[in-house]
Structure 1
Amino acid sequence: MIKNPIGFLSYVRSDDEHDDGRLTEFRRRLSGEVVAQTGERFDIFQDRTHIAWGQSWEERIHDCVDAGIFLICIITPGFFKSEMCRSEIERFALREKLIGRRDLILPVYYIHCPVLSDESLCRNDPVAQLISERNYVDWRALRFDSLKSPRSKKMFAKLAGDIRSALETRFPAEGFGPVAGTILPS
């Protein structure tokens, strides 16, 4: 089991189940491509794989959100309805703000979301607003392609290159963890 992941996958389990584990495979392939491009280990936390039997799932998720450098959000309509996904992105956005970065939340637009295409809906939803302010990777056209297709592999290579570039950007001297004296919501 990974202790301190570099990435954290924020997604809705039922979306992964509906697509026959494609989001789990997406995580594996992205992690592998980053390793191929950097030569360094790149663990991405996923709840269904990295929470031990008997472990407090909510505590483990909070610990890993707080430990990760990147939050990889799989954007679907269910993402916006999931209290846990909303909590993860809000918690991570606060940490990102504390260190003065705005490039560590990595949205992957997976299934069309009306809240992102309707300006009035988006404006009234803080999480949708946060996502809409970020450059996202549009995976909607790739959703039904094999993750081994040349088109998918090229996209994984691009994403891994972007992650590699973000890793090369220096972090504050305190590191990425919570800033001393700051209490993040539980």
Structure 2
Amino acid sequence: MNGNGPAGFWSYSHRDNELVDGRIVRLARSIGNAFELIAGEELAVFVDKDDIAWGDSWRARIDLALSSVTFLIPVITPKFFMSQECRREVLAFSGQASSLGLDDFLLPIHYVDVPPLTDGQSSDEVVSLIARRQWVDWRDLRLEDEGSQRYRRAINDLASRLKQIIDTAQVAPILSLPVTVGGPGSEVENQDEPGFLDVMAEAEVAMPKWAETLLAISEVTREIGEKAQQATVDMGDSDTHGGGFAGRLAAAHRLKDSLEDPISRYVELSSKYSAELVAIDPGILAVIRLASEGGLVGDDARAVRDFFAVILGLVEASRETFPKLEQLLESVKIPARQSSVLRSSLNKLQSAIRQVIDGREIIDEWGRLIGEIEAV
């Protein structure tokens, strides 16, 4: 495969592929073949995330610049949104693509009906992010015979759309963020692109809000943990006094009542956290890219160094928060399975925790990229 040619990374649930007898992977390869026939060049198709080539190529292509034409094609099903790995891939790719104005390079295929994707009722930021894209509707097509004319025409249409997106991107290449660093005449001509000052001003407002949300999540996590620990003590006391399962059930009811408010706040905070993170990620990546290109001097360079110091502080804070979230996630799984009294509330909590944990890869990526710049 040509490492500099266009590539498509298919993000999907392996179990979904098994359930449809391999049709998802065959669809990927059929579209790759149709693209090569139409465009006259190969579309490298990556479908096996267990293959080392996936990870190596993925990292090389999305690392700061998507320097070669790269598509992420998520195959959307209910299981897709249950996969932490699939969710993180969408978030990581979306930030990089948006920072370059290449949103069309994220091309979802709606394969099995996911109502929140179309009814606009989801507070899940990954669902919302997919809903905002021009996804391809394959919900009926997936039931067609793979050799039917309708199915083959749909494959051809999708391959043609990929070529059109590539052609459009080549006609209007994405430039670095415009910034005046060398006096008159050094400003990038395209005045419609956001400039360095624009991005920094937006980040100056957005970052403190996001940091406040992260702190609030940490506090409510501690509160929930304390209440859960108290419930464990209550159950132990009940057992000591011969309360039996009735005593444990009473303690579960008390825990449910005490968790109602903090879980409600946690769900609200997790949605806010994810939305804020997705909103600021492209701008931060754009600033990192500009700094990596050596395009900043004087006050601008100092401002960016200070900005990076703030980000690295948040990266460190998140590294303390995320393990606590993972511990909380594990701690609620057993009582959620054992008690119908707690199940509904704890399932909501688990979903909200996963939504926050989704952002770990984005934040870690900021730290990694800034570390590479500072190491030069």
Aligned to 2:80: 79
Post-superposition shift, 1:35?
A: 0.4
Counterpart in the other structure of 1:13:
14
Residue 100 of structure 1 aligns to a residue whose secondary structure is coil
Give the equivalent residue in structure 1 for 2:59: 63
Cα pair 1:31 1:42 within 8 Å, conserved: yes
Q: In the alignment, which residue of structure 1 is the partner of 2:174? A: 172
Residue 48 of structure 2 aligns with an amino acid whose one-letter code is: D
Shift of residue 135, structure 1, vs aligned partner:
1.6
Matches within 5 A, 1:1-150: 3=3, 6-47=7-48, 51-52=51-52, 59-60=55-56, 62-63=58-59, 66=62, 69-121=70-122, 124-150=123-149
How far residue 79 of structure 1 moved from its aligned partner, in angstroms, is 0.8
Count of aligned pairs between the two proteins: 176
State how far apart, in whole Å, the 2-side matches of 1:19 and 1:181 are. 46
CA gap of 1:117–1:168, structure 2 versus 1, over 3 A, is: closer
Superposed CA offset, 1:29-73 (max 9, x none): 00000001011011111125x714xx8x7x437426626611111
Greater strand fraction, Structure 1 or Structure 2: 1
Tell me, what secondary structure is at the counterpart of 1:146? coil
* TM-score (ref. length: structure 1): 0.83
- The answer as to whether partners of 1:77 and 1:111 remain within 8 angstroms in 2 is yes
Secondary structure of residue in 2 paired with 1:8: strand
Distance 1:78 1:137 in 2: 18
User: What is the root-mean-square deviation in Å for CA atoms of aligned residues?
Assistant: 2.6
Q: Distance in 2 between matches of 1:83 and 1:23?
A: 19
Maintained 8 Å contact 1:47/1:61: no
Q: What SS is found at the alignment partner of 1:162? A: helix
1:14 to 1:3, Cα distance in 2 relative to 1, 3 A: farther
User: Contact between 2:118 and 2:131, CA under 8 Å: does it hold in 1?
Assistant: no
CA distance in 2, matches of 1:118, 1:31: 31
Q: Tell me how far 1:118 sits from its aligned partner.
A: 3.8
| Aligned-partner SS, 1:163 | helix
1:119, CA displacement in angstroms?
Answer: 2.5
**1:71 match: secondary structure:** strand
Task: Give me the identity figure in percent.
Answer: 31
Specify the SS of the correspondent of 1:70: strand
Q: Distance in 2 between the 1:146 and 1:46 partners? A: 22
**C-alpha distance in structure 2 between counterparts of 1:9 and 1:65, whole Å:** 14
CA distance in 1: counterparts of 2:58 and 2:42, whole angstroms = 22
TM-score (norm 2): 0.43
Distance 1:180 1:29 in 2: 38
Equivalent pair of 1:145/1:152 in contact (CA under 8 Å): yes
Counterpart Cα distance in 1 of 2:45 and 2:175: 24
Q: Which protein has the larger Cα radius of gyration, Structure 1 or Structure 2?
A: 2
Whichever structure has more helix as a proportion of its residues is 2
